Amino acid sequence: MKVPKRLQPLVDDGLVDEVLYQLMSGKEAQVYVVRCGDQVRCAKVFKEAKKRSFKQAVEYQEGRKVRNTRRARAMSKKTRYGQKEQEDAWLNAEVDALYRLAEAGVRVPEPKGFVDGVLLMELIADADGKAAPRLDDVTLTPEEARDYHGRIIAEIVRMLSAGLIHGDLSEFNVLVDSNGPVIIDLPQAVNAAGNNNAERMLERDVDNMRRYFAKFAPDLLVTDYGKEIWALYESGDLHPESKLTGCFEHDTASADVEELMAVIDAAKEEERDRIERMLDDDED
């Protein structure tokens, strides 16, 4: 096929020898199957911000560290330079997450490089060497559904043990190769330790998987892995090989509303003080 404009620099530099075909086009990116030497790989071409429909929600970005203070200040002020830096940080998030998770033993496509907004990575293939189907396109027996659900829960545990939460996990971003599920699409990966929404996002990921697999194995609906996983994480007892029960004893004690509001007010006051200090520093 004709080489897409965004892939031409990689062809010119010898990183890609041939563009075989377009695999998919989504809200975030277009994915092509390419040949690199004797290897067939994927090239994920991220769309420009103005052409993407996915919102870079603050809840996903919270907790992502920016080492350069000038960049961080520009991003917070939303200057033109800051918007560009924020865009670069967003694109780099998936690359960083893939390398981190692959090293942690999570089943994700192995990254092969990131050049000019194009992510080269392993092609997840089926037994015939063709691109593996999404989980949503696979019909499962009850036994397969329970097996795959267990594997996905184990991958979620490994991810959290590595400090990350997918944040948008569903049947649409899990591929199934001959060895089982492979997790994909991580631009919104959440820093578990630095994001106030982390617990909710983890539980949402787990619940999405529970609901999907329960279509084939309804008994999975009674499981409660999300809260169990988070409780282990909060207590410092979560590790990649943690044994789970799928059960969680909920706290039925009434909440102390006055104490909760006092904590919220204190946090608001602290944030106001922090902003005032930042403004004073800028004036200096």
**Residue 50: predicted pLDDT:** 54
Question: For residue range 186-218, what is the model confidence (pLDDT) as tens digits?
Answer: 988 999 998 999 999 999 999 999 999 999 999
Q: How far apart are CA 3 and CA 21, in angstroms?
A: 10
Of 98, 95, 225, 223, nearest in space to 159 by CA: 98
Q: How far apart are CA 280 and CA 274, in angstroms?
A: 10
Question: For residue range 99-128, what is the model confidence (pLDDT) as tens digits?
Answer: 999 999 999 999 999 998 899 999 999 988
Q: Is the pLDDT of residue 59 over 60?
A: no
Residue 68's pLDDT band, with cuts at 50, 70 and 90, is low
**Residue 51: predicted pLDDT:** 46
Q: Is the pLDDT of residue 183 over 70?
A: yes
Backbone angles phi, psi at 216, to 5 degrees: -105, -25
Model pTM?
Answer: 0.76
Terminal alpha carbon distance of the chain: 57
Q: How far apart are CA 146 and CA 152, in angstroms?
A: 10
Q: Mean pLDDT in the chain?
A: 84
Residue 78's pLDDT band, with cuts at 50, 70 and 90, is low
Q: How far apart are CA 135 and CA 248, in angstroms?
A: 27
**Sign of the alpha-carbon torsion through 150, 154, 232, 234:** negative
> Where does 78-165 have alpha helices with state H?
80-103, 142-161
Q: How far apart are CA 281 and CA 184, in angstroms?
A: 42
Mapping DSSP onto H, E and C, the string for 175-201 reads EEECCEEEECCCCCCEECCCCCCHHHH
How many other β-carbons are positioned within 10 Å of the β-carbon of residue 49? Answer: 14
